[in-house]
Structure 1
Amino acid sequence: MTEFERIVKANFGELKREEIDILRSFFYHDRMEKNDFFIQTGKYCRKLSLVKSGLLRIYRHSDGKEVTQWISSPNQFVTEISSFFFNEPSRLSIQALTDVELLTINRKNYEQLNEKLPIWKEVETQFMAKCFAILEDRVFSHLSMSTEERFDLFFHQNRELLNLVPLQYIASILGMTPETLSRIRKKRIGNS
């Protein structure tokens, strides 16, 4: 099983080999250098990408500061959903934290998937439901978990990012100050 096939099955559900081949034919290789923008606030996002290597920071300006929403890492999809799917100006900026390799599909080719892959609407619905479930989990964790519990969950799910990403970005994702993150990290990791 190829890496693309494994990722597609994990995100889109079971597809036949020929369906995966059709889907793969719509993606092209893309590269970004560190600090390049995938999309900037106010512009229109016309692509959806699978991160093959590297890290991208998804953030927004709020009250004069940058608030990091997420770090996209290898084997995750990245786009600005409102812009890509609803043709609205992007509310977010997505910027490369490292050199990045991507598999990308542009909006025009994405729209053609319905013609070439009859099962696509069903597959797309499953993908969107999975994205929504991830978002629900993040909202729930912010509303119901203590800062320590949010750190523990993030650490369990994204351990490798703690050594690759500036701590102020992780603190922002977790809804805490860098000082609080540093204190919790020292306490939790120091006790491991």
Structure 2
Amino acid sequence: MTEHIEKIRALISSFDQETLEALSKITVVEQFRKGEVLLHQGEICRKSRHIIHGVARKFFFSDKKEITTEFFFKDDLAVSFKSYIHQKPGKEIIECLTDVTVETVDYIAFETVKKQFPQLMEYDILITELYTIWLEDRLFDFYALSAKERYESILKKSPEYFHHLKLTHIASYLGISLETLSRIRAKI
């Protein structure tokens, strides 16, 4: 993910001053407490939230069981992508697993300002491309890597926050049982 963050930073550093100011005006720093919900199931995702500090997760319910689909660490964009793009109610919930600090941008404000500043259109396209790459990598990993390799990968992503993840959430994210996760952890 580091290379993706560098691409975003490089693009932002090429913005002219007016574009930077326009983006700054619509960006709000917010803080949320552990357990707070950033997005409820059935709600429209009207904000994108860039994680500055902390951990959040995205999940949904299936047969009264929680299915974790994503963890958000530092520099990740906490968003229900389909809901955000289409501005329709989503199926997912985003909750804070720790206290979280985010930079929040409202969908309507961003759509308005990007029409005035073409560099923000490039930014929007880059974010979409990077999310698509992440999703493709996640699917590849799910089918090509063993459960142990997938576990080690999530462990490496943000080791300083890993202890905040519940084992049931990790098992769900990896698509394995809690018992299988326990066996993997015992071998590492």
Query: For this structure pair, what is the TM-score category when the shorter chain's length is used for normalisation?
Result: 0.7 to 0.9
- Hey, which bits of structure 1, 4+ residues long, moved more than 3 A? 7-13, 19-22
2:106 is aligned with 1:109: no
| CA-to-aligned-CA distance 1:97-119 (integer Å, 9 cap, x gap) | 12221110111211123233212
Change (3 A) 1:170 1:11: farther
Who is 1:4 aligned against?
A: none
Query: 1:139: how far off?
Result: 0.5
* Residue-by-residue CA offset, 1:160-179 (whole Å, 9 max, x unaligned): 34312111111111111122
Residue in 2 that maps onto 1:56: 56
Secondary structure, in 3 states, of the residue corresponding to 1:160?
coil
Secondary structure in 2 matching 1:159: coil
Q: Give 1:125-144 correspondences, 5 Å limit.
A: 125-144=125-144
Which residue in 2 is equivalent to 1:28? 28
Of the candidates 11, 14, 17, which is equivalent to residue 14 of structure 1? Answer: 11
- Cα deviation, 1:139-166, whole Å, max 9, x if unaligned, reads 0111121112212222232333431211
Segment drifting more, 143-152 vs 165-174: 143-152
Specify the alignment match of 1:171 in structure 2.
171
TM-score w.r.t. the length of structure 1 is: 0.86
Give the partner amino acid of 1:124.
D
- How many angstroms does 1:63 deviate by? 2.1
Deviation at 1:185, TM superposition (A): 1.5
Equivalent residues of 1:168, 1:178 under 8 A apart? yes
For 1:181 and 1:147, how far apart are their aligned partners in 2?
A: 8
The alpha-carbon distance between structure 1 residues 53 and 90, as it changes in their structure 2 partners (threshold 3 A), is same
Give the number of equivalent residue pairs: 183
Structure 2 segments unaligned to the other structure (5+ residues): none
Percent identity (aligned): 26
Aligned to 1:93: 93
Q: Which amino acid aligns with 2:75?
A: N
Residue 53 of structure 2 contacts residue 101 of structure 2 at CA under 8 Å; is this kept in 1? Answer: yes
User: In angstroms, what is the RMSD of aligned CA positions?
Assistant: 2.1
Does the 8 Å CA contact 1:13/1:123 hold for their aligned counterparts? no
Give the secondary-structure state (helix, strand or coil) at the position aligned to 2:60. Answer: strand
Asked whether the equivalents of residues 41 and 90 of structure 1 are also in contact (C-alpha less than 8 Å), the reply is yes
1:21: Cα distance to partner?
A: 4.0
Return closer, same or farther for 1:161/1:182 CA change in 2, 3 Å cut-off: farther
Alpha-carbon separation, structure 1, partners of 2:157 and 2:34:
24
The normalised TM-score by structure 2 is 0.87
Matched, 1:79 2:79: yes
Q: CA deviation at 1:54?
A: 1.8
Q: Are 1:45 and 1:84, in contact at CA under 8 Å, matched by a contact in 2? A: yes
Write the distance in 1 (CA, Å) between the matches of 2:152 and 2:164. 17
Cα separation, partners in 2 of 1:156 and 1:96, compared to 1, 3 Å: closer
The one-letter code matched in structure 2 to 1:123 is Y
State the partner residue of 2:44: 44
